[in-house]
Amino acid sequence: MSEDIAEQPAGFARLLEAGSSGEIAAVAAEVARRAPRSVLFVGRGTSDHAALYGAYLAEIRLGLPVASASPSAITLYGARPDLTGTLVIGVSQSGGSPDLSGVLSVARETGALTLAVTNNPDSPLAKAAELSIDVVAGHERAVAATKTYTAELLALLMLVEGIRAGDGHLPAEERAALEKLPQLASDVLADRSATELAQRYRFASSLVTTGRGYAYPTARETALKLMETSYLPALAFSGADLLHGPLAMADPDVPVLAVAGEGPGGQSMRDVVARLGERRADVVTIGATDVPGASGRLAVPAVDERYSPLLDILPLQQLALALALARGEDPDAPRGLKKVTTTL
């Protein structure tokens, strides 16, 4: 897991090099030409969190209605919804789960433009889709996904911005900003604050993660990483949903990790952190500036809010790794889990 985490800056550079003028640009141009009227995402686990990030991008940047598919409606109940005019995007590291390829197969038969985003271009998911994108993350050693997650995020970002441009190619300003990501990621990973923070949560019995907008997928992915590597019950909420009830459980014994970066989503988290502070909750934020009400911060660079998820998750991956080791667990081989999970 440590090696996978460390490879992410190089992964960003590789995907930027391979995707901007090649496969991703071609796929984005074809999607723009077909002009879908809506987008439907399907994914499981970590890839579902990447799909959620893609949903925010598509809705905000493309102005299209976006939904998340319910695979069981198709694979267990035999539904065949009319998906004419819909772009259906399956996101999966392995591309091997039958429910995901089943959704794309039915979607293609019922009028959708289908796209697979995967780390395995020869997978059943990629073969089921009309279009596919290889996130070129390379072999991932640990069961807990890290580098494939951020590769999916970057691929979806490049895809959406390429569609928005119309010809598939990133505008020069966008390209220049993205070119800085590998170095920014290296700088974040060089900071050992997250590893040191692990001792603070060594004996925690539960934990809450929260964020809004583009940061909400980061909160969900962090909770999953903590659960699968440290077996620590972790609940993820959007900042808004947290205030609609779950805030009542906040107290000094329930640590909170709050992603509070730049932009509208990050700014709205200031009020959430303040409310948590009133409950005397132990809040650590992830962002570029301190937030009143928090007792600590994992520092990340101030970047465009669309880019933040690619950097915010890095110290949280390090935290999950260090916490698992501090609790005497093996983060490379979580109990009961395999690298490829197949569901129907």
Domain boundaries, the chain: 2-187, 191-326
Angle 344-335-96 from CA coordinates, rounded to 5° = 30
Q: What local confidence, expressed as pLDDT, does residue 341 receive? A: 62
Which residue matches tokens 């959704």?
103
Which residue matches tokens 């390379």?
138
HSE-CB of 180 using CA atoms within 13 angstroms? 12
pTM above 0.75, yes or no: yes
The domains spanning 2-187 and 191-326 adopt the same CATH topology: yes
**Nearest alpha carbon to residue 194 among 303, 333, 321, 308:** 321
Q: In what order do the strands lie in the sheet with 131-134?
A: 66-68, 38-43, 86-92, 113-118, 131-134
- Asked whether the beta carbons of 70 and 41 are under 8 A apart, the reply is no
- Which H or E element spans position 159? helix 147-165
- Asked whether the beta carbons of 12 and 185 are under 8 A apart, the reply is yes
Neighbours of 171 (CB within 10 A): 12
For residues 313 and 311, give the distance between their C-alpha atoms in angstroms, rounded to a whole number: 6
Number of H helices, E strands in the chain: 15, 10
Q: What local confidence, expressed as pLDDT, does residue 98 receive? A: 93
| Main-chain phi, psi angles of 238, to 5 degrees | -65, 155
Q: In what order do the strands lie in the sheet with 207-211?
A: 234-238, 207-211, 256-259, 283-287, 296-299
Q: What local confidence, expressed as pLDDT, does residue 94 receive? A: 92
For residues 244 and 96, give the distance between their C-alpha atoms in angstroms, rounded to a whole number: 37
Q: What local confidence, expressed as pLDDT, does residue 336 receive? A: 65
Looking at domain 191-326, its CATH architecture is 3-Layer(aba) Sandwich (3.40)
- Asked whether the beta carbons of 320 and 222 are under 8 A apart, the reply is yes
CATH fold label, 2-187: Rossmann fold (3.40.50)
- For the chain of 344 residues, list the mean pLDDT of each consecutive stretch of 10: 97 87 91 98 96 98 96 94 97 93 96 97 96 95 94 98 95 95 98 94 94 97 96 94 88 93 92 92 95 94 97 98 95 72 66
Q: Give per-residue burial for 199-228: e unless 16+ CB within 10 Å, then b.
A: ebbeebeebbbbbbbbbbbbbbbbbbbbbb
Q: What local confidence, expressed as pLDDT, does residue 302 receive? A: 96
- Asked whether the beta carbons of 312 and 271 are under 8 A apart, the reply is no
| 66-68 vs 283-287, strand pairing mode | unpaired
